[in-house]
Structure 1
Amino acid sequence: MASVQGYDVEVVEGVRRFVEREVLGKAQALEADEVYPSHIVKGLAGLGLFGICVPQVYGGLELDIPTYAKLMEELGYGWTTLNCFINGHCSASSILAKYGTEAQRTSLLPRMASGELRVAIALTEPSGGSDLQAIRTSATRLPDGTYRLRGNKIFITNGERAGAVVVLTRTGRGKSAFSLFVIEKGRAGFRVGAHARTMAHRHVDVTELNFDDVIVSADDLVGGVEGSGLAQMLDALETGRIAMAASAVGLARSALKSSVDYAAERSSFGQPIGQHQAIQGLLADMAAKTAAARALVHEAAQFKAQGQRSDMMAGMAKLFAGEVCAEVALNCVRIHGGSGFVSDFPAERYYREAPYFILTEGSNEIQRTVIARRLLKGDAQAIGL
């Protein structure tokens, strides 16, 4: 593998070429089309991107976290819908690769790596989102060793098209109250509920999942042992937050380029608007903050790759990159003026997509709390501060 700055250059270049060929200049039309972009999803599968976190022995790419982050940045540069197809699935595969039983890995990971089986993560409930300890979905162990699963999940990305889900449930009390189950669809009582109407990513199904006395076996318990679910999920979320931060950087880069191009082409008062000091100030801030966000994401990815506890670093990357993305997207609309308010230009799409990276994988308000608590415990030295 050729590498630079800690990531696999060849893999990243392959994805960049795919984005240039299939997505750039086409994202507006792809989003407006009523037809699900199956050819794009097949292209992602052909690149092996559903196997980013799957060990090679099971047919995956087994890429390191810095390369994963860089791939997500390149996908986000093209169309952040692509990231939504990939990220939750990769979180699920990383959980199974690291914590699953050998039977679970053998049964699921090869199909996940090829894209034959897409897997969603089911966390959020009507009573709680970022606060995972507030979940109420429960799995009660029955005398025959099976479990009865009851509960309702909402806002589940790829909830309709995924063939299986990794679901966080209560199986006890206290710190060991939570467990993960991996459940393929087709079980009695397991059904997809209402679809949410979202402001962006219209081809990404966001649904309710209902578990009405679903009977699952002990073989479906991730790792085969109760009580480890919260730690398993939080570990995966650290990587997921870095991936979302990288996606936000990709979107910010795209919004910045669109702004620079428009500022060079559009004229007012006899000169390109890019010659006006007010526009130059916006562009300079957008570029500086996007570059800073990218650097922080890269550092967080390197930190996580070293195997260290990364909730603070991942939280800082997601917090900063998400906020920068939203600011850059808004400034892109400002620079486009009235053109930024219509769908002929991508500026309005950037503006709709950007809030996603503030809200998902734990809201930015939660990230601030996590960061502050770690600082107050004196943990700043762990990241060199």
Structure 2
Amino acid sequence: MADSTADGVERRLPTEEARELLSLVRDIARREIAPHAAEEEAAGRFPRALFALLSRSGLLGLPYAPEYGGGGQPYEVYLQVLEELAAARLTVGLGASVHTLSCHALAGFGTDEQRAAHLPAMLGGGLLGAYCLSEPSAGSDAAALRTRAVREAEGDWVIDGTKAWITHGGIADFCTVMARTGGSGARGITALLVPGDAPGLSAAPPERKMGMKGSPTAQLHFDGVRVSDDRRLGAEGQGFAIALDALDSGRLGIAACAVGLARAALDEAVGYARERRQFGRPIADFQGLRFLLADMATQVEAGRALYLEAARLRDEGRPFGRCAAMAKLFCTDAAMRVTTDAVQVLGGYGYTADFPVERYLREAKMLQIVEGTNQIQRVVIARHLVGPESR
């Protein structure tokens, strides 16, 4: 089933329901997100009320099971929803992706009792999640994390440590936390579901970032945070494997957001080129600029094709980790190229805050870093090709 986008490009969608869902998302993006994006990003305001609307509309639980309040949608559809949200405002698309990532451990590795107790509120009850893996001294080397959870005699876990670079840090209602419960290395890590208002949990002031100023990123401090064992997700020592499983899917979310951002930059550049006149005619008439726009459009379409290929592998239950790493790498690098070229198309105007492309450029840089830097993606891809590095 095909669906025409605003630029006339035909997209394949698996069902009529998916077509209607994407239409709903575009309507929300046009009416509720895009008109306020520039002002709210400049002011550093997070649109919490908008996320409540997305939750009520069923858009924060799309790839999860309907019996727990999810949308039951394949990743092929869910990722195209993220693209639409990110094209309107990256803070919203990325926030939806991070929230979905935060629900992954419970949905995939929790017990039936845990899912029934917590997942409906997380997926459609207006809650917002945070995913807590990175630390000040454990970024790319996530298996070296130091936040520790100690089990007391009565069975509760007590967590101490600091997590870093946490999207929604300080405003999340729940956190999926990877903590060390055993020895060093990956096998000593366990996943725990922590309420956002747990005593002893506090947030540092948000990071002062180059872009994405409306999306709070902060350190989280765990000072004797106590959670019961019924909030342990999966087996003890399984946390790192759970984290990696989540990140394969999360990378696809970042890839889709990158394509949405690049598409927004391309649309702005095309619109400007049609209106801006020099030497008595629109600058869109000049071959050098036309070729630049053609290259930008090709990057957008190639990126979408790659993330959808990875999504379809995932939906079929086939290995998709290598393709997910490729999609994250290619799509975010493409977003950086396309937003840079969009600034060039607008010339001096592109370097001012009067047009959104300078914001798009600042935001694109972040996408090359989060959820595994693009250098890490190359490591992952190479390991699939030639095996692990010699020690």
Give yes or no for TM over 0.5. Answer: yes
Could you tell me whether the CA contact under 8 Å between 1:333 and 1:340 is conserved in 2? yes
SS state at 2:34 partner:
coil
**How far does the alpha carbon of each residue in 1:261-280 deviate from its partner, in whole angstroms, 9 at most, with x for none?**
11111112222111222211
8 Å contact 2:325–2:378 — kept in the other structure?
yes
Following the alignment from structure 1 to structure 2, what is the Cα–Cα distance between the partners of residues 154 and 36?
19
AA aligned to 2:193 is V
- Is the alpha carbon distance of 1:254 and 1:185 closer, same or farther for their aligned partners in structure 2, counting shifts above 3 Å? closer
Q: Within 5 Å, give how 1:205-284 maps onto structure 2.
A: 205-223=216-234, 225-284=235-294
Identity of aligned residues (%): 39
Alpha-carbon distance between aligned partners in 2 of 1:272 and 1:229, rounded to the nearest angstrom: 57
> What residue in structure 1 maps to residue 191 of structure 2?
180
2:45 and 2:215 in contact (8 A); partners too: no
Looking at structure 1, the residues matched to 54 and 359 of structure 2 have their Cα atoms a distance apart, in angstroms, of 22
> 1:163-174 counterparts in 2 under 5 A?
163-173=173-183, 174=185
Q: Which residue of 1 aligns with 2:350?
A: 340
Which residue identity lines up with residue 262 of structure 1 in the other structure? Y
C-alpha distance 34-331 of structure 1, shift in aligned 2 (>3 A) = closer
For the residues of structure 2 that align with 1:25 and 1:44, how far apart are their CA atoms?
Answer: 16
Preserved contact between residue 53 and residue 94 of structure 1 (Cα < 8 Å) = no
TM-score (structure 2 length as normaliser): 0.91
* Whole-angstrom distance in 1 between the partners of 2:324 and 2:355: 32
Q: Is the Cα–Cα contact under 8 Å of residues 65 and 72 in structure 2 kept in the other structure?
A: yes
Give 1:199 shift: 1.9
Residues 262, 339 of structure 2: 8 Å contact kept: yes
Distance in 2 separating the partners of 1:159 and 1:20? 28
Distance in structure 1 (CA, Å) of the matches to 2:197 and 2:153:
23
Query: In 2, Cα distance between the equivalents of 1:207 and 1:309?
Result: 33
Describe the superposition over 1:34-75 as per-residue Cα deviations: whole angstroms up to 9, x where unpaired.
654344223312321122233211222122111111111111
Alpha-carbon contact 2:143-2:186 (below 8 Å) kept: no
Q: Which runs of 5+ in 2 are unaligned?
A: 4-11
* Superposed displacement of residue 259, structure 1: 0.6
- Give me the whole-angstrom Cα distance separating, in 2, the residues matched to 1:43 and 1:135: 35
Q: Out of 306, 310, 313, which is 1:303 matched to?
A: 313
Q: 2:327 aligns with which of 317, 340, 350?
A: 317
Amino acid at match of 1:267: R
Give the alignment's TM-score, normalised by structure 1. Answer: 0.93
Query: In structure 2, do the counterparts of structure 1 residues 193 and 199 end up closer, same or farther at CA, with 3 Å as the change threshold?
Result: same
Q: Deviations over 1:176-226 (max 9, x none)?
A: 211100010333322122311122222211111111122222112113x20
Q: What is aligned with 1:66?
A: 76
Does the alignment pair 1:50 with 2:60?
yes
Residue 115 of structure 1 deviates from its aligned partner by 3.9
Shift of 1:25: 4.5
Q: Does 1:204 align with 2:215?
A: yes
Structure 1's 315 and 5: CA in aligned 2 closer, same or farther, altered over 3 A?
same
Q: 2:56, 2:126 within 8 Å by CA — same for their partners in 1?
A: no
Task: Give the Cα–Cα distance (whole angstroms) in 2 for the partners of residues 189 and 136 of structure 1.
Answer: 17
Residue 152 of structure 2 corresponds to: 142
State how far apart, in whole Å, the 1-side matches of 2:370 and 2:362 are: 14
Mapped contact 2:25–2:81 kept (Cα < 8 A): yes
Pairing 1:335-374 to 2, within 5 Å after superposition: 335-374=345-384
Q: Secondary structure in 2 aligned to 1:94?
A: helix
Cα RMSD over matched residues? 2.0
Residues 145-192 of structure 1 show CA distances to partners (whole Å, capped at 9, x for unaligned) of: 222211101110011111110011112235521110001033332212
* Cα distance in 2 for residues equivalent to 1:332 and 1:44: 30
2:102 corresponds in structure 1 to 92
Give 2:200's aligned residue.
189
> Helix, strand or coil: the match of 1:279?
helix
Q: For 2:89 and 2:126, how far apart are their aligned partners in 1?
A: 22
Q: Distance in 1 between matches of 2:80 and 2:236?
A: 35
Aligned position for 2:20: 10
Q: Secondary structure at the match of 1:187?
A: coil
The answer as to whether partners of 1:179 and 1:228 remain within 8 angstroms in 2 is yes
Gaps of 5+ in 1: 379-385
CA pair 211-259 structure 1, distance change in 2 beyond 3 A:
same
Counterpart contact for 1:50–1:115, Cα < 8 Å:
no
Greater CA deviation, 83-92 or 345-354?
Answer: 83-92
**TM-aligned CA distance change 1:22 to 1:188, over 3 Å:** closer
| Greater alpha carbon shift after TM alignment, 200-209 vs 252-261 | 200-209
Cα offset for 1:289?
A: 1.3
Q: How many residues align?
A: 377
